[in-house]
Amino acid sequence: MKQHLTVLIAAWMSIGATALAADPPPEWLNVRGFGASGSEFETAAETTAGSKQITVADVGDFTVGQGVMLSECNPRCTGKTLWGPRHVVAMGRPLQDKVEIRGYDGTQGDWVVLLLDVPEGTRSFCWSEDRARTWTETVPITGDWQPLRDGMEVRFNQHDWEKGYTVHFTLRGQLVTAVDAIEGNVVTLHDAPTRTVGAATLRHCDDVALQAAIDGAVREKRNLHVPIGRYRLSRGLYVRSASAITIEGANPVDTILDISEGEGACLTLSKGLDVTVRNFTMVGHSGFAERDQCGNLRMRGSSYFWGFGAKGCNAVSIGSTERVLIENCHGRRMATECFVSGSSSRGTAEKPNAAHCKQTTYLRCSAIDCGRNAFNDVMCGSENTSVLECRIVDVGGCAWEGASRFVKFVGNYVRNAGTVAMGNLGPANRDATFPELGAGQHIIANNVFESNVPYGRCAIRSAVGATQVVIADNLFINFGSSAVEASGRSDLTHYASANTTVRGNLFDMTEIGETSAPRTAIDVSASDAVVSDNQIYVRGAADPNVTAVKIKEPAVNVTVHDNLIRNCGAGIVTERALSTVGKVVDPLTFVPSVGAVPLDPRKARQCEGWRLVWLSGGRPAGESVLDAVVDAARPETLQMKLKEPRETKVGDTFEVIPPSSNWLLHDNTITDCLRPVILDSYGNATCLFRDNVVARGATGKVAQAIVVSGRFQLLGNHVSGFDEKDSSALLLNPDRLGTACRSSYRGNVFERCAAVMKESREGLWQAAASDGNIFIDCGSPPDSKPAKSKVGWALPTNGQAK
């Protein structure tokens, strides 16, 4: 039997090897038949301005009819855009004649990107040619030609420059042409260089041939084979309106699409029904080291400028293709999103739209050493995107960013890459389907996250409009950054997120580098959240910079249960979120610029009777009661109305207190932490801390097991081992308003504690209900205060056990 199995395996391997070595099926088209070279050969060339003939050091494998690119010999402006005015979110638009440039002759560089920044409120400018890493001194705009460097000059024409703008120019010396003839070492080009150069570089350029092959395959409804080779591109390739096509490289290592000398996407899929792209490496020009030049550049002119808008490239870009499979494709050094999709949505019942992304799968792909995002669904219209078994390493933007629907990010490996970000549902990427269908629904599961996050502050974030999010069964290895955040923050252009489950994850928050940064494993400020069955720990000694679980008011309906927390600086912490006034309508009405209020867009009035605490210098300075939050169907129309008038101004900050939070923190184990439990939010009668085990373990210098600075119900907990000198099981504080809270301490077991309770102000224990507690080997247990119910019975009084 064993010998028979060996023969079968050998035969299978032989068949597989033959299939891999064989040519593609005869019905497939081959890009070589359209003149694509796939050659990485390059040589030095002498050019003369105006002459089509160039002299090369080595003619190599160049042949007549092939496309080529020649450096330095064709100076021209290839891109010019205007960004702004300030405070307007919009991509760059045509510059037209608002600013002119002259004097670029190629000696200043073969690829020059210039940014001219006009600060808001001025008629002056400064400029940068390293994409905002460094800037020149600011000088007044004269309306005449003004020098930059080495003969380059700009002239600003009439415009409302005071509103704040940024101008972008791209200057290239590259000539893209074809070979018309070859005689010895003299190559005749189809187009003449415009500059004399002694040592230009001549390379193959395959984009024209590849585009012809793709167009032919789409037209004839045939698949396309790309043999081993490096296919240099000066511009991106397009697959337009394909009914069904597979574009496949011979293997994913040696079949390379190289756009390092161009801009655009290696492959753009535009509309169509079914496209498969398989077995490619795709190389761009801007890697992880250039991430600061590819991202959101901080200007004093335009407040919205992305560096990749000045010099960009993608591996694959998808635009409303219905079904897409990207398999075994590997992006390197991509300046813009490595793999990106943007689609219109399915439409409404009254106006349906069949032509949208219905299913996109990235399988066994990778994004490594990239300036911006690895994977991105820009619009909410894309549906059923799956990122499966992919590798994301050294990525300067998000590992995944998705405003789309029904996403699965499963089985991936992520190291030194930005956030897996869900939501981002601003006005530019949501449509009429959003009120009924929502967006941002995600499953983030079975992934491995290692080391840290260079962008975005945490590994996984559900925010600004994401709903129905499951984060489950992920591993975090030696994690030196924050891990998971379910954010309830919103503003005038974004909805808050909600409906999040974080379960079954293992967080190893051990920092193995030299410096441990403050970080949180799970941070929840979004409503309707469940955090359960997670393990959060640090190897070795407790790390004071690690917080295991953080919950922020005014989130409501939050359950945290059955988590194991060990060796952290802080175990479970509750806090208060801050909101800010953005616009004052009248003494009763204002609009928040940044808010932390859980809202339902379907309700005309909500949050009736909620309290606001106004702050001054970070301390309470007054209270108001909400009549209601109204017009929440769209963030930009939302208003908060008070019951009583108040003199409010833009920039005022406040905290929101719901009358009923419905927080249930139960059956967690918290041990060996420096600050095991800190309940530092306003709280209310429905904030329960119940049936938890809080133990000191082997960690020393732990002052208190549980700090209570708000109204919480502590029921049935077991607190043990806090027996060091001057330590206590409980530390009671008044709430932020100085109020003695009507908390409950019932049915708890306090064991081996130097003191059961300490108060920062006398009378806090007596203001609470404290029945049925048991004290085992504890010093000076406090007196009880029975809490009577309406039917007249009382819980058992506190007992001292020996």
pTM: 0.93
pLDDT of residue 277: 99
Residue 403 has pLDDT above 50, yes or no: yes
pLDDT 10s digits, 239-255: 999 999 999 999 999 99
In this prediction, residue 634 has a pLDDT band, given cuts at 50, 70 and 90, of confident
First-last CA distance in the chain: 70
**Alpha-carbon separation of residue 604 from 580, 632, 640, 643 (angstroms):** 22, 7, 12, 17
Handedness of CA 105, 107, 113, 119 (dihedral sign): negative
pLDDT of residue 425: 76
Going by C-alpha positions, the residue among 321, 604, 601, 629 that lies closest to residue 437 is: 601
Average pLDDT for the chain: 93
Task: Report whether 339 contacts 390 (CB < 8 A).
Answer: no
pLDDT 10s digits, 492-531: 777 888 899 999 999 999 999 999 999 999 999 999 999 9
Residue 318 has pLDDT above 60, yes or no: yes
In this prediction, residue 783 has a pLDDT band, given cuts at 50, 70 and 90, of confident
The more confident residue out of 14 and 282 is 282
Burial class (CB in 10 A: 0-12, 13-18, 19+), 316: buried
Q: Which long-range contacts (CB under 8 A, 24 or more apart) does 227-230 make?
A: 227/30, 227/31, 227/32, 227/38, 227/255, 228/38, 228/254, 228/255, 229/36, 229/37, 229/38, 229/39, 229/40, 229/254, 229/255, 229/256, 230/38, 230/39, 230/40, 230/256, 230/258
The structure tokens listed for 432 are 């009429």
The structure tokens listed for 470 are 């499951």
Residue 261 has pLDDT above 60, yes or no: yes
For the chain, the maximum distance between any two Cα atoms, rounded to a whole number of angstroms, is: 109
- Average of pLDDT values for 211-235? 99
Place of tokens 């994301």: 392
**667 CB neighbour count, 10 Å cutoff:** 16
The more confident residue out of 344 and 32 is 32
In this prediction, residue 791 has a pLDDT band, given cuts at 50, 70 and 90, of very low
d(CA 465, CA 61) in angstroms, rounded, equals 55
In this prediction, residue 782 has a pLDDT band, given cuts at 50, 70 and 90, of confident
pLDDT 10s digits, 183-215: 999 999 999 999 999 999 999 999 999 999 999
pLDDT of residue 698: 96
In this prediction, residue 790 has a pLDDT band, given cuts at 50, 70 and 90, of very low
**Residue 347 identity:** G
Residue 354 has pLDDT above 60, yes or no: yes
pLDDT of residue 786: 55
Going by C-alpha positions, the residue among 535, 544, 486, 490 that lies closest to residue 515 is: 544
pLDDT of residue 10: 40
- DSSP, collapsed to helix, strand or coil, labels residue 16 as helix
pLDDT 10s digits, 51-110: 999 999 999 999 999 999 999 999 999 999 999 999 988 889 999 999 999 999 999 999
The more confident residue out of 493 and 327 is 327
The secondary structure of 20-80, three-state, reads HHCCCCCCCEEHHHHCCCCCCCEEEEEECCCCCEEEECCCCCCCCCCEEEECCCCCEEEEE
- Average of pLDDT values for 127-134? 98
pLDDT 10s digits, 427-469: 767 778 887 888 899 999 999 999 999 999 999 999 988 899 9
pLDDT of residue 638: 87
- DSSP, collapsed to helix, strand or coil, labels residue 434 as helix
pLDDT of residue 600: 80
The more confident residue out of 33 and 379 is 33
